[in-house]
Amino acid sequence: MFEKYTQKLELPKILEILEQYCISTIGKSLTKELNPSNNILEVKHLLSETTQARNLIDNLGNAPISDIQDFDKISIQLDSNVALSCQGLLVVARLLKTSRALKNYFDAVEDKSKYDNIESYFQSLYTNLDLENKIFRSILDENTISDDASSTLKSLRRKRRSLESQIKENLNKYIHSSTYSKYIMEPIITIRNDRYVIPVKIEYKDQIKGFIHDMSYSGSTVFIEPISIFETNNEIHNLQLEENIEIERILKELSVSIFPIKSNLVTSFQSIGNIDLIFARAKFSFEYNCIEPAINEDKIITLKQARHPLIDKKSVVPIDIEIGKNYTALIITGPNTGR
C-alpha cells in the first residue's frame, strides 16, 4: 500500500541507518518489517514508546541488550524435545542472562507509570537464575562440559588424568632412555587413533615391542604404542566412553529442564527484539535531535526546523513547513532540493 511512497521518501535507507542502532539479530530483523501506518492510535503508541525509551536512556543509560543468535534453531529443537548441545544450552543461558539484566534495569525505575507503553515488554521477560547458573556452571564453552557438571564426570576425568599421567611417565622413559632414545624420531608423546604413542624411526620399529598405529607421510616414522602401556590405554579408552555417556546424560538432563519453559523463552526472545528496536529508535532520535510530534486528525502538518536525515547534518539547511491551514499544496525548492 505504501511502497510507492516509501521508495520516494527513501524510507528503506532510513531503516538501514536505524538497523545500525540495533544490537540483536532479532532487533535488526524487526527493523526490516517496519512500515508506515495510517492508524492514529498505533502511530501515537509507537511514538510514545520511542520517547519513553529515550527518557529511560537519559535516566538509566542504555539498556543492557545482548545479541542472542540462533535461538530460532534452538526453539525448533525444543519443540521436538531434542536434547540440546553445549552450544544450544549456552544460547538459552545467554537468553536468560539478558532477560534478567533487562528486568533488573527496568526494576530500577522508580515511577513505572511514566513508561506504561514499554513496561509490558520488560514484564514479559522470563528469568530463572538457578537454571542460568546451572548451565553456565556446567558448560565452559560451545565444546566443553565442566568437571563440575556432575560428581560422576569429575571422578571419571580425575581417573583418566591419573592414567594419562602414568602413561606419559612410562613413555618418557623410552624417550629419555639411553637404550631407546636413539630409536626415537622426536622426543615427543603424541596420540594416534585415541591411543598414546611415540614416534619411532622406521628402521628401528622392531626394537620397541608394541602396536603400530600410524606412519608419517614420508614413511620415515612409525607411531608405536608400546605393549607396556597397552592395558592403561584400554582403561583410558573405557573411561572416555563412560565420560561420553555421562556428558550425554548431563546435556539431556539440562535440556529436559528447559522443555517446560520453552514458551517463556520464546516470549522473552521476542520481547528482547522489541526492546532492542524501541531503544534503537530512541538512539536514532537522540542522534538526529528529533522530538515526538503532536499528531492531529485535522490534516494539518507543521514542521519546524525540519531536516532530511539522509542529508549531511553539517550541510543541511533546516526549514519550516506548514500545510493544511492556509493552503493545501506546496512547490518545494530551496537549498536542500534546488539545483
Spans of all domains in the chain: 3-147+251-291, 151-240, 296-339
Quick one: what percent of the chain has pLDDT higher than 70?
97
Q: What is the pLDDT of residues 22-61, one digit of tens each?
A: 999 999 999 999 988 889 999 999 999 999 999 999 999 9
Domains 3-147+251-291 and 151-240 share a fold: yes
Distance CA 130, CA 149 (A): 14
Residue located via cell numbers 538501514: 16
C-alpha cell at 269: 526472545
Closest by CA to 302, choosing from 324, 335, 317, is: 324
- Residue 337 scores a pLDDT above 60: no
- Amino acid 254 reads L
Over residues 70-99, the mean pLDDT reads 94
Angle at 296 between CA 290 and CA 300, to 5 degrees: 90
Contact 196, 164 (CB under 8 A): yes
- Amino acid 53 reads A
Distance CA 97, CA 46 (A): 27
- CATH code of the domain made up of 151-240: 1.10.1420.10
Distance CA 53, CA 282 (A): 6
Query: Which one of 1.10.1420.10, 1.20.81.30, 1.20.210.10, 3.40.630.10 gives the CATH number of domain 3-147+251-291?
Result: 1.10.1420.10
Name the 3-class secondary structure at 34: coil
Over residues 2-15, the mean pLDDT reads 83
Least confident range from 100-104, 174-178, 248-252, 326-330: namely: 326-330
- Global confidence as pTM: 0.86
Sign (positive or negative) of CA dihedral 190, 191, 196, 197 = negative
Least confident range from 153-157, 252-256, 275-279, 331-335: namely: 331-335
335 phi and psi, to 5 degrees? -65, -25
- Residue 336 scores a pLDDT above 60: no
What pLDDT does 335 receive? Answer: 61
Contact 198, 171 (CB under 8 A): yes
Sign (positive or negative) of CA dihedral 172, 178, 184, 187 = positive
Contact 31, 281 (CB under 8 A): no
Name the 3-class secondary structure at 331: coil
Over residues 98-113, the mean pLDDT reads 96
Over residues 316-336, the mean pLDDT reads 79
Q: What is the pLDDT of residues 229-279, one digit of tens each?
A: 999 999 999 999 999 999 999 999 999 999 999 999 999 999 999 999 999
Name the 3-class secondary structure at 52: helix
Contact 250, 148 (CB under 8 A): no
**C-alpha count within 13 angstroms, C-beta hemisphere, residue 196:** 27
